Amino acid sequence: MLKTLIKMINAFSSNTDPGAIAHAFACGVLLGFMPKGNLLWVLLFVFIFFMRIQRATFSLTVIVAALFAPLLDDVFNSVGYWMLVKESLIPVYTKLLDIPFVAFTKFNNTVVMGSLIIGLACYIPAYVFGRLGIWLWRKYLADAVRRSRIVKLTKQIPLIQKLSSLASKI
């Protein structure tokens, strides 16, 4: 976990494409919101895994978004219910359930459907927020944080020195 965090911090300050980091953040929000243990989550994970994204950012964002997802379950449930009871889509859902293995996606669960819809709706704002955050970090914050007094003091702690040497090897 620490190695992943170090890779993510290095990517923020390195020549890593900001778009790859922002997409990783947005994909992490999408998957972090969704309940795990269904075929839809696994299919999305495999699809996202083969994209050109910054995987450390993706992993940490999935973990953080998954921590906040239970707080949003009522919202996911409401949105999913609203989507699943739409009269015009009921024939589509019926045909989908007749296809083998589609039921394993659990798309007919209100929380799964709601979290998918909200995750997709949050994708573009999360991408923009991630891209803006990286720009702000690289333009203004990175040098200021490196020069700050507290960073200079913490670099003198032996454990931090060891972690810094590990980060330079990665």
Instruction: Render pLDDT for 79-106 as a digit per residue (tens, 0 to 9).
Output: 999 999 999 999 999 999 899 888 899 9
Under the banding of pLDDT at 50, 70 and 90, the label for residue 168 is low
Residue 79 contacts residue 118 (beta carbons within 8 Å): yes
Q: What letter does residue 148 receive in the DSSP assignment?
A: S
The closest alpha carbon to 35, from 119, 107, 120, 115, belongs to 115
Residue 116's Cβ-count burial label (10 Å; 0-12, 13-18, 19+) is: buried
Angle between helices 18-33 and 55-68 (to 10 degrees): 30
pLDDT score of 126 more than 60: yes
Residue 128, SS3?
helix
- Look up the pTM and report it: 0.79
Mean pLDDT of 49-69: 91
pLDDT score of 35 more than 70: yes
* Range 120-126, long-range pairs (CB < 8 A, 24+ positions): 120/30, 122/26, 122/29, 122/30, 122/33, 123/26, 123/27, 123/29, 123/30, 124/26, 126/22, 126/25, 126/26, 126/29, 126/30
pLDDT score of 154 more than 90: no
Mean pLDDT of 59-68: 94
Question: Which runs of consecutive H residues, i.e. helices, occur in 15-170?
Answer: 18-33, 39-49, 55-68, 73-84, 90-98, 110-136, 142-147, 149-154, 158-169
Under the banding of pLDDT at 50, 70 and 90, the label for residue 43 is very high
Q: How many residues does the chain have?
A: 170
pLDDT of 27: 96
Compute the mean pLDDT over every residue in the chain, rounded to the nearest whole number.
87
